[in-house]
Amino acid sequence: MKNQPPTHLFKGVAYHTPTILLTIGLILSSLFHSCKTTNEQAVILYGQEFEQVRGLAKKENKTFCFVLSRPDCSPCVMFVRKLGDRYSNVIFNIVDVSLPENQWYQHWLCSGSLPTTCIFSSKGKLKAIVSGTTESCMQCIGSAISGDTKCAEYFYSKNHPAKDVSIPMLNTVFASKLKLDKGQDISNEIESTLTGNTYPYPVYLKSINEVKQGRNQDAVYWANRFLAFDHPFFLKAYNDLYGELKTIIDPNYTSEDDGVLSVVEEIQLGNCRLNESRPFSLTLTNTGKLPLSVLDIHLSCTCVKLQSEHTLTLQPGQSQNVDFMFTADVQGDVFREIVFVSNGVNSLERVSIFATVK
């Protein structure tokens, strides 16, 4: 059974387990429909397939939303708690994107922001996307549910480097993905999304489709097109897809053929004093067979400063120190994180920083 949040988290919300969810949802929807009230509760589903939710929404003529979340995302949990009381007569399906079968939703949106709310019409057409939990985000979700989607572009586009991505394109790509999963040829549908596109996911779908249709040379062409998206943002968003595409290009490919970034998983800074600076270094090593480029270094807070360059290249077997400065800004046990983005096998390597601040 998939992970599911405890029922008590959703006070005032209709919530059900995945195995019996759809049946009970239909019964509850019927009961809600028969009630003479103008403020029906939202229905909260968890981990349901798109077609199931669309079928329920179409039957009840309700807008439905897919909320992309993770169980270890505290803002996501708080956000879900608010949904039932905040919005009425809407179906929400909470999708745990930490599960492998759900990661494609974030590939589709090309966004790592959580929670992200995708608002669909009762017939299953995407209307708007809103990322975030602020009051402005909550108001925008309400507006989009009511039919006014003007504000939603800001809350999605600000998280997306490919500015040509639009709701119609996302609808086409979404429908293509569902069709591809059924083993159908998506050549006609996906073609319109590929011309002049700066958005990687349709290129990925095109390559996979060509493999399934036995057009291997075309599959290799589109796999190479996908690998050309080497912006740090894309490497982060599609971290788990690059290896799959490299295998299409070279069936004998293994991860050992690439550059491999090796770095410690955590560093203990021990006791630190508030507002005093503590320097530390991390050693990066390329343990692979090809040159490796570190494309960016992300810091989780302003209390950690990078003292070296953001980018560097390591030859096979080469090591290099990267210098940082930690300045504690809060007392107690402190946890921070550094993320290295590279073109290696695992494009994201995370280092946890622990300190006790007195």
What number of other Cβ atoms are within 10 A of residue 196's Cβ?
5
| Per-residue model confidence (pLDDT) at position 13 | 40
Residue 224: φ, ψ to 5° = -65, -35
State whether 293 and 193 are in the same domain: no
State whether 242 and 277 are in the same domain: no
| Per-residue model confidence (pLDDT) at position 311 | 92
State whether 245 and 184 are in the same domain: yes
Looking at the domain assignment, is residue 42 inside a domain?
yes
State whether 88 and 24 are in the same domain: yes
**Which residue range is the domain that position 338 belongs to?**
261-357
| Per-residue model confidence (pLDDT) at position 99 | 95
Q: Which of 253, 287, 317 is the last residue in one of the domains?
A: 253
State whether 32 and 102 are in the same domain: yes
| Per-residue model confidence (pLDDT) at position 347 | 81
State whether 147 and 242 are in the same domain: no
State whether 135 and 187 are in the same domain: no
Stretches where the chain sits below pLDDT 70 are 1-39, 157-164, 197
State whether 311 and 341 are in the same domain: yes
State whether 105 and 45 are in the same domain: yes
| Per-residue model confidence (pLDDT) at position 85 | 84
My answer on whether omega of the bond before 115 falls inside 30° of 0, hence cis, is: yes
State whether 140 and 213 are in the same domain: no
Looking at the domain assignment, is residue 162 inside a domain?
no
What number of other Cβ atoms are within 10 A of residue 204's Cβ?
23
**Number of structural domains the chain divides into:** 3
Could you tell me which residues come within 8 angstroms of residue 188 by beta carbon, excluding any fewer than 6 positions away? none
Q: What angle do CA 298, 246, 339 make, to 5 degrees?
A: 10
| Tokens linked to 189 | 């549908």
Task: Give the residues across from 68 on adjacent strands.
Answer: 95, 116
State whether 233 and 341 are in the same domain: no
State whether 37 and 81 are in the same domain: yes
Task: Give the residues across from 306 on adjacent strands.
Answer: 324
